[in-house]
Amino acid sequence: MTFEVLILGCGAATPTSRHNPSSQLVNIHDKLFLVDCGEGTQMELRRNKVKFQKIQHIFISHLHGDHYLGLLGLISSMHLLGRKSTLHLYGPAELKELVELNLRVSQTYLDYPLVYHITDEKRQIKLFEDKSLEVHSFPLKHRIPCTGFLFMEKQKQHKIHKDIIVEYRLSPSQIIQLKKGENVETNRGILTVEQACILAEKPKSYAYCSDTMYWERLVDFISGIDLIYHESTFLNSEKERAKQTYHSTAEQAAKMAALLGAKKLILGHYSSRYTDLQPFIEQAKPFFENVILADEGMVVAL
Amino acid sequence: MTFEVLILGCGAATPTSRHNPSSQLVNIHDKLFLVDCGEGTQMELRRNKVKFQKIQHIFISHLHGDHYLGLLGLISSMHLLGRKSTLHLYGPAELKELVELNLRVSQTYLDYPLVYHITDEKRQIKLFEDKSLEVHSFPLKHRIPCTGFLFMEKQKQHKIHKDIIVEYRLSPSQIIQLKKGENVETNRGILTVEQACILAEKPKSYAYCSDTMYWERLVDFISGIDLIYHESTFLNSEKERAKQTYHSTAEQAAKMAALLGAKKLILGHYSSRYTDLQPFIEQAKPFFENVILADEGMVVAL
């Protein structure tokens, strides 16, 4: 099943001709989730040939312009191109005020419903759930209220071998237990899930963490994830500046990925002062081996 | 003296991978004026290596997103890159509300002053004047309040031949008259400006007209201009749609340029439905010969 992240923008606050401001498209089982929407996101979606009317859910981490200024144009383009289906927006409370003011001054009356869902920078919230996945927001530590987003597949049921059912004369409740991953007691002793089932794939998870300073409390919200995008605005030479501006260095991002037990780390949100990004990898690797640099157009599959 | 227009975006409401939304940089005597500021303008300024901190004046025609959504990011980048000097913003009254809300939610406290100047879609207003030029807003006819902008050099004084002063024993007041372009009466009869002076260059003018339907009342505001940018969102096949949406066709733009006695016409604000733009020229030429198609990165010098 598809589970991939397309990087649309991985630059920090001032966009350059090299990097767009923050945005990513998360595709899980062919559902498209947009995460942050910096200026130029709709153009970058086009460049990557994404059918953006298929996006039903847009998540905004916080209200610094480089994370939301592309949203207003995207909402307008969706309207002009004939959208009728509901668009769900997730973000801080003032996001609604921003969107509504832009619609009012441009006298735009959308042909599709917007539904707002408010995030909370103080606690984790389950924002979305369907039969195969969940999306949560969780606190980050930034200069203004900011949350990350966690995308988690649900554990699928294991498939039980039919001959085992006959052989062990399993009851319906025993079958349900095994499918859920619980061993059962039979006349012939303990029957383990491994003996009885073709095991379902382990559910995959992805956490988006931009913008934030190094903050160990993240372990309360997103430990044991497969993939993490953690901002690394600065290199070690700007460690003090990182602290002052509530951002992270590449080394801190790597330490955080290690602390969280993540399997893979994507670095991004690079300050425009850096043109050579190789030092980000060099400063991260000693603390977390499986690290890559985000780049526009890059797809990371889980 | 420099007088040129750099096209930063000439697409209509939905940006494409081919065309940005509206924006232009007008450079007059090395003063930089930004006219409209659609999404992505700051990136396009960088691509064209414009030192955007030199921009002191930004003019917004109206509050449809494709004409102002890049302003908020540009204001922020100017701040982050250390701007201290005043930025003047010209546009509809709600522009201030939009900018201030974005600054408030992002908790951005600018290190430089913003000064707002309100335009009026009902009448012409002189927005800016210095010793060598004037900028006016003037009404356009669009679905929401919208103005164009007129950039005019002032008539420079003629240079009087020194030997003529002696020969005709000209008084100081006669000299002033001649420099201003008025013939004077002397003991030896009428002395014409042409006889007495090296004539100053004729002042040049440029009018920006986007967005608007075909509207003959424009002659009251901007007749006799050198260069005009007139929107041509549609071709003749969409003439009805042009009327409904308060936009123009290429033919209408050409007829307007002719009616206004302009010397040269730039077409732009193309609907994203068109990929081949040659028909815009073909439909305009029969009504106005000196017509060109706007394109990103193009510079038109007067």
Q: Which two tokens stand for residue B159?
A: 């240079």
pLDDT in tens, chain A (302 residues): 899 999 999 999 887 778 999 999 999 999 999 999 999 999 999 999 999 999 999 999 999 999 999 999 999 999 999 999 999 999 999 999 999 999 999 999 999 999 999 999 999 999 999 999 999 999 999 999 999 999 999 999 999 999 999 999 999 999 999 999 999 999 889 999 999 999 999 999 999 999 999 999 999 999 889 999 999 999 999 999 999 999 999 999 999 999 999 999 999 999 999 999 999 999 999 999 999 999 999 999 99
pLDDT of residue A31: 96
* pLDDT computed for residue A187 by the predictor: 86
Confirm or reject contact between B145 and chain A (CB < 8 A). Answer: no
Does position B296 have pLDDT exceeding 90, yes or no?
yes
Q: What is the pLDDT of residue B64?
A: 96
Question: CA of A146: which chain B residue's CA is closest?
Answer: B106
Q: Torsion angle of alpha carbons B254, B23, B224, B183, nearest 10°?
A: -160
| Per-residue model confidence (pLDDT) at position A238 | 97
* B98: nearest CB among A40, A77, A101: A101
Contact A101 B105 (CB under 8 A): no
pTM of the model: 0.91
CB contact under 8 A, A102 and B70: no
Which of A66, A102, A109, A121 has the most B C-beta neighbours within 10 Å, making it the best mutation to test the interface with B? A102
A190 forms beta bridges with A185
The residue of chain B with its CA nearest to that of A46 is: B17
DSSP 8-state assignment for residue B234: B
Contact B63 A94 (CB under 8 A): no
State residue B16's pLDDT score: 79
Cβ-count burial A107-141 (b if 16+ within 10 Å, e if not): ebeeeeebeebebebeebbebbeeeebbbbbbbbb
Q: What is the DSSP string of A43-81?
A: HHHHHTT--GGGEEEEE----SHHHHTTHHHHHHHHHHT
Chain A partners of B97 at a C-beta cutoff of 8 Å? 101, 105
Residue with more model confidence, A281 or B14 = A281
For B61, name the nearest residue in chain A, comparing CA atoms only.
A106
Instruction: Tell me which H or E stretch contains B3.
Output: strand B3-9
Chain B closest CA to A92's CA: distance in Å?
10
Residue among B39, B106, B107 whose CB faces A70 most closely: B39
Give the pLDDT mean for B18-26. 95
Residue of B nearest to A108 (CA): B64
Cβ within 8 Å, pair B76-A105: no
Helix (H) or strand (E) holding B278: helix B278-284
At A178-198, the pLDDT tens digits run: 999 999 999 889 999 999 999
**Amino acid identity, position A109:** Y
Q: What is the mean pLDDT of chain B?
A: 96
Q: What is the pLDDT of residues A140-169, one digit of tens each?
A: 999 999 999 999 999 999 999 999 999 999
Q: Evaluate the CA torsion angle A176, A179, A182, A185 in order and state its sign.
A: positive
Tell me B52's DSSP state: G
The alpha carbon of residue B153 and the mean position of all alpha carbons in its chain are separated, in whole angstroms, by 12
- Taking only the tens place, the pLDDT of each residue in A61-89 is 999 999 999 999 999 999 999 999 999 99
Nearest chain B Cα to A97, which residue?
B101
Q: Half-sphere exposure of A96 toward its Cβ, with a 13 Å CA cutoff?
A: 11
Question: What residue segments make up the domains of chain A, in order of their start?
Answer: 3-156+201-301, 159-198
Confirm or reject contact between B72 and chain A (CB < 8 A).
yes
Q: ipTM for the complex?
A: 0.88
Q: Active-site positions of B?
A: 66
Chain A residue numbers touching B110 (CB-CB < 8 A)? none
The neighbouring-strand residues paired with A198 are: A159
Q: Residue B107: its chain A contacts at CB < 8 A?
A: 143-144
B48 inside 8 A of chain A by CB? no
Contacts of B53 in chain A (CB under 8 A): none
pLDDT in tens, B85-138: 999 999 999 999 999 999 999 999 999 999 999 999 999 999 999 999 999 999
Residue B88 near residue B81, CB atoms below 8 Å: no
Q: Distance (Å) from the C-alpha of residue A20 to the closest C-alpha of chain B?
A: 8
CA dihedral (B63, B56, A272, A226) in degrees, to 10, reads -20
- Give chain B's length: 302
Asked if A143 and B107 come within 8 Å (Cβ–Cβ), the reply is yes
Range 91-130 of A in CB contact (< 8 A) with B:
92, 94, 97-98, 101-102, 105-108
- The topology under which CATH files domain B3-156+201-301 is Metallo-beta-lactamase; Chain A (3.60.15)
Give residues 22 to 41 of B whose Cβ lies within 8 Å of A. 39-40
* Contact across the interface for B13 and A77, Cβ inside 8 Å: yes
**Residue A63 to residue B97, Cβ atoms within 8 A:** no
Closest-approach residue (CA) in chain A for B19: A43
pLDDT higher than threshold 90 for residue B84: yes
Backbone angles phi, psi at A224, to 5 degrees: 75, 25
Catalytic residues of A: 66
